[in-house]
């Protein structure tokens, strides 16, 4: 079967492409914006990419067009598909019909932590020799790919609440029919499609309705919004984590190691280099979900000692003259705060130069702008790339005083960072996009400024929120 994917360079649709190729299908695709790591991954798989959505692609004689949610009415290719009556479907529906139908699906949902928790869960199962398939919204370092298909019963999927397609406004995760589901947390996001928190809670309850009675819901026991979702009706056993019942974590030592307890009984000790309470919560959820699939808690805990996190989660991109440059996916104020606070806990009193691109649809709408100053309070200097925003970032960041600066030119931002950074500083780049290649631009500029070689460091195994 020939599948042509519209919006193929999104992490989810790129994962669909990889899985379809592994299943033996001919896969091609198109997109308007192409940047690593997904573009590199697709090319490595030998998948042909077409730049843009011109209507002539309707002549490719594809058996079906798989449509990403980036595609809207008015898209030239989509209009041609509709006018000619060609077969099309959404990515989640294609995955459900062709891959997930006969699988034990382990889905990870939540506003934050989906990618990291999915990567943890897939790694635990893989380390236990269960060889799960997976589709994750990032590239786990343990696997170096975001998606794979195997012949085992198990499939781990990052379960996104964003809408499915222009013709299916349900959340993606309602298609997946999981037997095991993690509900990591829930707060307001995706302001471009959800009018309020209650609308998101309704979608989460749709997910809860699809989990069978012999399944398991692993839920954050400290999240009042999730509690509200479950009180609407729940037909599946629930194990909580993070609260007083179920799974809990002991206080970490100076190395970030911590005990794992289930109903007060010690299960083992996680020994790793990740930082932050959010990662301990992610670990508890992954351990609980893996146990439901047959992995003893002690085995899961041991596997996490070899977990290498996900690209773009506090990934060290390089260092010049003692100035370390990080890349992180954080873009929601809660994720930004947790990432900055986690780095602060790791580096102590060294300076943090936080560089933010408010790029998500929610951030572009300015819905979360009032929360930004508090999320960045632990940073010593704040730099915001404010091009193409519908609100004034300088006004929003005014509570931070002189330590916040706004730029609408990327080259000027890089020049200012070179002027301000000094040995021992940590430059934390935060964006859910490519950020114009700013990481490489800054490292190159620092190299020329100090006439030193760039030290490219393998990604440290501690990480950000998502």
Q: How many CB atoms lie within 10 A of CB 268?
A: 18
Return all residues near 310 (Cβ < 8 A) that are at least 6 apart: 115, 116, 119, 136, 138, 139, 140, 141, 463
Give yes or no: residues 299 and 320 share one domain.
no
Under 8 Å between Cβ of 274 and 84: no
Q: Give domain status of residue 73, yes or no.
A: yes
Q: Do 441 and 325 meet the contact criterion of CB atoms below 8 Å apart?
A: no
Q: Could you read off the pLDDT of 54-78 as tens digits, one per residue?
A: 999 999 999 999 999 999 999 999 9
Q: How far apart are CA 456 and CA 325, in angstroms?
A: 10
Q: Is the peptide bond before 37 cis (omega within 30 degrees of 0)?
A: yes
User: Could you say which of 64, 91, 118 is where a domain stops?
Assistant: 91
> Of 188 and 444, which is predicted with more confidence?
444
255: Cβ–Cβ under 8 A, 6 or more apart, which residues? 271, 273
Could you give the 3-state DSSP secondary structure of residue 450?
A: helix
Number of residues that make up the chain: 466
Dump pLDDT digits (tens) for 115-145.
999 999 999 999 999 999 999 988 888 898 8
Residue-wise pLDDT for 237-278, tens only, equals 999 999 888 999 999 887 889 999 999 999 999 999 887 788
Residue 462, domain member (yes or no): no
User: 464 pLDDT band (50/70/90 cuts)?
Assistant: very low
Q: Is the pTM of this model over 0.85?
A: no
351 in the same domain as 442 = yes
Task: Output the domain CATH number for residue 61.
Answer: 3.40.50.720
Domain that holds residue 52: 2-91
310: in domain? no
pLDDT confidence of residue 229: 97
Query: Is the confidence at residue 394, as pLDDT, over 50?
Result: yes
pLDDT recorded at residue 127: 96
Q: Does 231 share its domain with 253?
A: yes
- 182: tokens are 């993690």
Collapsing DSSP to helix, strand or coil, 69 comes out as coil
Using the 3D structure, point to which of 270, 304, 338 is the last residue of a domain: 304
> SS3 for 371?
helix
Q: Is residue 463 part of a domain?
A: no
User: For the chain, what is the domain count?
Assistant: 3
Instruction: Report pLDDT digits (tens) over 155-191.
Output: 999 999 989 999 999 999 999 999 999 999 998 776 6
Closest-CA residue to 7 (of 25, 33, 27):
33
Residue with tokens 């459900």: 96
* C-alpha closest to that of 182 among 124, 113, 270, 274: 113
Most confident of 17-31, 339-353, 409-423: 17-31
CATH number at residue 146: 3.40.1190.10
Q: Last residue of some domain: 304, 329, 348?
A: 304
Alpha-carbon gap, residue 238 to 446, rounded angstroms: 51
111 Cβ neighbours under 8 A, 6+ residues apart: 161, 184, 185, 186, 187, 189, 332, 334
Residue 250 CA to residue 252 CA, distance in Å, equals 6
């Amino acid at each position: 079967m020939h599948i042509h994917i519209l919006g193929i360079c999104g992490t989810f649709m790129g994962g669909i492409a990889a899985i379809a190729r592994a299943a033996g299908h001919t896969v091609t695709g198109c997109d308007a914006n192409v940047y690593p790591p997904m573009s590199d991954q697709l090319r490595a798989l030998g998948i042909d990419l077409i730049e843009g959505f011109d209507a002539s692609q309707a002549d490719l004689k594809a058996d079906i067009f798989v449509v990403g949610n980036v595609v809207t009415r008015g898209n030239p290719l989509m209009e041609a598909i509709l006018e000619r009556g060609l077969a099309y479907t959404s990515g989640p529906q294609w995955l459900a019909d062709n891959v997930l139908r006969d699988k034990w699906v382990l889905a990870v949902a939540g506003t934050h932590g989906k990618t990291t928790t999915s990567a943890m869960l897939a790694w635990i199962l893989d380390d236990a020799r269960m060889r799960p398939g997976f589709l994750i919204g990032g590239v786990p370092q343990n696997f170096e790919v975001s998606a794979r298909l195997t012949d085992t019963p198990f499939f781990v999927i990052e379960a996104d609440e964003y809408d499915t397609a222009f013709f299916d406004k349900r959340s993606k995760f309602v298609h997946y029919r999981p037997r095991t589901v993690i509900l990591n947390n829930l707060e307001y996001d995706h302001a471009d499609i959800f009018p309020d928190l209650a609308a998101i809670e309704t979608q989460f309850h749709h997910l809860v309705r699809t989990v069978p009675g012999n399944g398991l819901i692993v839920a954050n026991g400290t999240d009042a919004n999730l509690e509200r979702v479950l009180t609407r009706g729940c037909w599946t056993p629930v194990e909580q984590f993070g609260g007083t019942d179920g799974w809990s974590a002991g206080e970490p030592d100076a190395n970030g190691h911590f005990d794992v307890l289930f109903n007060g009984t010690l299960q083992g000790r996680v020994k790793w280099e990740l930082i932050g309470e959010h990662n301990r919560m992610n670990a508890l959820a992954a351990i609980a979900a893996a146990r439901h699939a047959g992995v003893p808690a002690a085995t899961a805990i041991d596997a996490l000692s070899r977990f290498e996190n996900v690209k773009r989660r506090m990934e060290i991109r390089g260092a010049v003259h003692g100035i370390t440059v990080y890349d992180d996916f954080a873009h929601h104020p809660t994720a930004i705060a947790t990432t900055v606070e986690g780095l602060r806990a790791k580096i102590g009193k060294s300076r943090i130069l936080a560089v933010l691109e408010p790029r998500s649809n929610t951030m572009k709408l300015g819905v979360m702008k009032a929360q930004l100053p508090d999320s960045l309070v632990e940073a010593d200097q704040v730099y915001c790339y404010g091009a193409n925003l519908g609100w004034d970032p300088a006004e929003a960041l005014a509570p931070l005083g002189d330590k916040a600066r706004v730029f609408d030119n990327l080259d000027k931002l890089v020049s200012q960072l070179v002027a301000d950074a000094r040995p021992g500083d940590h430059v934390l780049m935060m964006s859910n996009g490519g950020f114009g290649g700013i990481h490489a631009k800054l490292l190159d500029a620092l190299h020329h400024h100090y006439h030193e070689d760039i030290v490219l460091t393998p990604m440290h195994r501690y990480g950000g929120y998502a």
